[in-house]
Amino acid sequence: MQQTIRIATRGSALARTQAAWVAERLTMHHPNLKVETHIIKTLADAHQEIPLHGFRQRGVFVKEIENALLNGEADLAVHSMKDLPADIPDGLVVGAVPPREDPLDVLVLRDEPAPLKAGIPLPEGALVGSSSLRRQAQLRHHRPDLRFCDLRGNVDTRLRKLDEGAMDAIILAAAGLIRLGLAERISARLPEEISLPAVCQGALAIECRADDESTLTLLQPLEDSETRCCVTAERALLRALGGGCAVPVGGLARIEGTALVLQGAIAAPDGTRLVREIQTGSPDDPEGLGAALGARLLATGGQEILQEMHSQRGIQDA
């Protein structure tokens, strides 16, 4: 008997590509499975005129999709895991974490790369498009001469604006370009020492209802234990810092031999201060490692940066 499973996803080309990737692997492992895809518009999709750091609520890329899961309108959802808040709603669970794609940030340049300055191939005073406070803050820290403009929209929209001459460069996730078959547009990868990626960048989260044993069983072949371990540590770090799209926090974990190594960074939006730490622990306790590194970052200057940001936001919102 054929079973049908309904996937909820955003409508961007990247979101649809990621959902199609999951659907293909599900049917590869379960040949009698029929997969339906349901496109859902999220708050962030509906208001692309607002920079990511301009939203005051969390989960702006996922809330409507999670509601569809909770209401029984869909059986699973495919997210870019970096869009998933550190705490997910009761009744939902990340049922599978597939292998991670390249987690780094990359530059896409309009012209040929300039000679490296502080490790970044951009000319003096270049205008860079990005709505990510994390990316802006870290590049400002290394290159105070750079200028930035907010840039929202799908990957193809951002590339078109670059090609039309609206800016000199844009910063994107390597994973998105690779998944869309646009790896040739990558001009330069930004080393993690310069731009520590967003927590969970390059990883997918397949979310479903916690009590849906049938769907959880179907998802088991898509699980990658090493990626799950790394993103669990990164999400624990984010949770310890109370972070989201509006906070310039970076985090990246890797398993090296028998150890789990986690890097974390908090940057002031203007780039004048950057707190960066690295900590090693056991892959058996990724939650503990993330919490410990979060506490360390707060104690070494991150708390002051976050407090100033929250204070300024409170003034802006008044």
- pLDDT digit string (tens) for 1-24? 679 999 999 989 999 999 999 999
83 counts as catalytic: yes
pLDDT tens, 232-291? 999 999 999 986 556 789 999 999 999 999 999 999 999 999 999 999 999 999 999 999
What is the rounded distance in angstroms from the CA atom of residue 228 to the CA atom of residue 257?
16
Is-same-fold flag (1-98+203-223; 105-189)?
Answer: yes
Task: Give phi and psi for 261, each to the nearest 5.
Answer: -110, 125
List all residues 6 or more positions away from 35 whose beta carbon is below 8 Å from its beta carbon. Answer: 4, 5, 6, 7, 23, 26, 27
Q: Which CATH superfamily is domain 105-189 in?
A: Periplasmic binding protein-like II (3.40.190.10)
Measure Cα distances from 45 to 48, 138, 198, 283 in Å.
6, 26, 20, 36
Query: Could you report the per-residue pLDDT of 137-162, keeping only the tens digit for each?
Result: 999 999 999 999 999 788 999 999 99
Q: Which of 45, 83, 105, 168 is catalytic?
A: 83
**What's the pLDDT score for residue 54?**
44
What fold characterizes domain 224-318? Double Stranded RNA Binding Domain (3.30.160)
The confidence score (pLDDT) of residue 60 equals: 62
CATH second-level architecture of 1-98+203-223? 3-Layer(aba) Sandwich (3.40)
- Whether the predicted pLDDT of 77 surpasses 70: yes
**Over 80: is that where the pLDDT of 112 sits?**
yes
Pair 156, 203: CB distance under 8 Å: no
Rounded distance, CA 289 to CA 295, Å?
Answer: 10
The pLDDT of residue 44 is above 90: no
- Domain limits of the chain? 1-98+203-223, 105-189, 224-318
What does the alpha-carbon distance between residue 95 and residue 304 come to, in Å, rounded to a whole number? 36
pTM of full prediction above 0.95: no
